[in-house]
């Protein structure tokens, strides 16, 4: 049985600066003592996407203050912390440098061990923090830069079953929004517009549906949206709504096929798991159509559907601290202080290298 542990987590992989203090008792029960996140949405909205240089500078300006705030909210000092966990990749290299170097400095000054955490592992293990999930389970990571279906066998044990071979789902949402002159961030804007639309007006393609391999492709869908918009330009508000609704319908039907095959594969490989589970993480997990599709799919296949609270699906330091705690509790050695950030860092290092495989500069 592992001892009581408390970790300070730091997250700076993209455009949120975050710090958190999380505890794990001797029986593995977690407590989130503080969770501080500073969004850079306003800084990047004028550019229609994240500007790496602006993001890194904002991290530098805010991180020390956020760490102090996280400690204060948790009512602890650095002497009460057992270790530091900082995101080391994948992500924007400038932001990763800021967070990891800060984590190293704190670890060196306080004599505490450092855990350089894979951002994707943070997502993969969050369901154990929020729902006490047992291994093994499936995770669908859908975010701005990643679309992956991953088998989570244990801490540090991941097998990628599928990934995007071109655009990630979040990128497809963002590019569709930009094409239709909708505001940034694109995902929520497309979802809002779609509420007033007819999802049957446009018959958009459903990439890779029917394929045995569990990969994803959204580039062709994005191109079909552009062609449809060009053919009927200038667009009315109803045209935009119908395109968004039809786009979401194509996404839903694509996920139903891709993930459905994944659930069947899991049941074949793990017939003795009494309550198999599918976890969804990443910003696109907030989309109600996506959630509804996955929930219905899980109900049909008798899977438990786990969607952590939205603030823990997007970038946050709680998941980084928790991943550090999980590693610490299972006896994983801390990292040396010469550990370097990695803009690409796939969870499954043995998987074939594809575009969606720990994409450089991707927001997870």
Give the strand pairing for 83-89 and 114-118.
parallel
Same domain as 296, residue 154: yes
Same domain as 184, residue 109: no
Same domain as 300, residue 322: no
Same domain as 294, residue 177: yes
- Mean of pLDDT values over 151-158: 97
Same domain as 111, residue 217: no
| 355 assigned to some structural domain | no
Return d(Cα 191, Cα 289) in angstroms, integer: 8
% of residues, the chain, pLDDT over 70: 95
| 305 assigned to some structural domain | yes
Look up the pTM and report it.
Answer: 0.92
Question: Domain residues for 301?
Answer: 135-310
Return d(Cα 212, Cα 305) in angstroms, integer: 23
Residue 354 pLDDT: 60
Residue 356 pLDDT: 44
Instruction: Assign 88 to helix, strand or coil.
Output: strand
Same domain as 248, residue 200: yes
Same domain as 91, residue 176: no
Same domain as 140, residue 80: no
- Mean of pLDDT values over 85-100: 96
Which ranges of the chain would DSSP assign to H, the alpha helix?
A: 41-45, 52-74, 93-110, 119-131, 169-179, 186-194, 219-231, 237-269, 288-301, 310-313, 318-329
What CATH number is attached to the domain comprising 18? 3.30.420.40
Whether the predicted pLDDT of 50 surpasses 60: yes
Residue where a domain terminates, one of 281, 310, 339: 310
Residue 243 pLDDT: 98
- Which residue, among 36, 30, 31, 29, has the nearest Cα to 9 in the 3D structure? 36
Terminal Cα distance for the chain, rounded: 32
Chain centroid offset of residue 106 CA: 26
Identify the band that residue 158 occupies on the pLDDT scale cut at 50, 70 and 90.
very high
DSSP 335: B
- Which residue, among 309, 306, 301, has the nearest Cα to 138 in the 3D structure? 306
Same domain as 241, residue 160: yes
Same domain as 305, residue 169: yes
Return d(Cα 108, Cα 337) in angstroms, integer: 8
Residue 363 pLDDT: 37
The total number of structural domains that make up the chain: 2
- Mean of pLDDT values over 137-151: 92
Whether the predicted pLDDT of 200 surpasses 90: yes
| 358 assigned to some structural domain | no
Return d(Cα 306, Cα 304) in angstroms, integer: 6
- Mean of pLDDT values over 213-230: 95
Phi, psi of 298 (to 5 degrees): -65, -40
| 359 assigned to some structural domain | no
Q: At a CB cut-off of 8 Å and minimum separation 6, what does 207 contact? A: 216, 217, 218, 219, 220, 221, 254
Angle at 342 between CA 340 and CA 347, to 5 degrees: 120
Using only the alpha carbons of the chain, give its radius of gyration. Answer: 20
| 90 assigned to some structural domain | yes
| 151 assigned to some structural domain | yes
| 354 assigned to some structural domain | no
Same domain as 151, residue 44: no
| 117 assigned to some structural domain | yes
Contact indicator for 307, 285 with CB cutoff of 8 Å: yes
SS3 of 107-150: HHHHCCCEEEEEHHHHHHHHHHHHHCCCCCEEEEEECCCCEEEE
Same domain as 223, residue 209: yes
């Amino acid at each position: 049985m592992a001892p009581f542990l408390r970790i300070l987590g730091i997250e700076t992989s993209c455009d949120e600066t975050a710090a958190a203090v999380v505890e794990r008792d001797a029986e593995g029960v977690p407590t989130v003592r503080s969770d501080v996140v500073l969004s850079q949405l306003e800084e990047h909205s004028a550019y229609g996407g994240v500007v790496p240089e602006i993001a890194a500078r904002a991290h530098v300006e805010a991180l020390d203050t956020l760490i102090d705030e996280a400690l204060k909210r948790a009512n602890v000092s650095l002497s009460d912390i057992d270790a530091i966990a900082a995101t080391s990749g994948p992500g924007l290299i400038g932001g990763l440098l800021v967070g990891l170097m800060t984590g190293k400095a704190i670890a060196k000054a306080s004599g505490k061990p450092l855990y350089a955490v894979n951002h994707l592992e943070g997502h993969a293990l969050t369901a154990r923090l929020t729902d006490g999930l047992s291994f093994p389970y499936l995770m669908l990571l859908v975010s701005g830069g990643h679309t992956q279906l991953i088998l989570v066998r244990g801490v540090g044990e991941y097998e990628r079953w599928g990934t995007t071979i071109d655009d990630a789902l979040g990128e497809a949402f963002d590019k569709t929004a930009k094409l239709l002159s909708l505001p940034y961030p694109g995902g929520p804007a497309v979802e809002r517009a779609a509420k007033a639309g007819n999802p049957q007006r446009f018959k958009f393609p459903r990439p890779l549906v029917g394929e045995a391999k569990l990969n994803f492709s959204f580039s062709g869908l994005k191109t079909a949206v552009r062609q449809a918009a060009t053919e009927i330009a200038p667009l009315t508000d109803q045209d935009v709504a119908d395109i968004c609704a039809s786009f979401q319908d194509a996404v839903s039907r694509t996920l139903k096929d891709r993930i459905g095959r994944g659930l069947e594969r899991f049941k074949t490989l793990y017939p003795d798991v009494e309550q198999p589970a599918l976890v969804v993480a990443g910003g696109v997990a907030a989309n109600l159509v996506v959630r509804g599709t996955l929930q219905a799919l899980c109900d049909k296949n008798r899977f438990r559907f786990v969607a952590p609270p939205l603030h823990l699906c997007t970038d946050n330091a709680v998941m980084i601290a928790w991943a550090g705690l999980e590693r610490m509790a299972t006896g994983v050695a801390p990292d040396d202080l010469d550990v370097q950030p990695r803009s690409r860092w796939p969870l499954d290092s043995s998987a074939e290298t594809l575009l969606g495989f720990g994409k450089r500069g991707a927001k997870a």
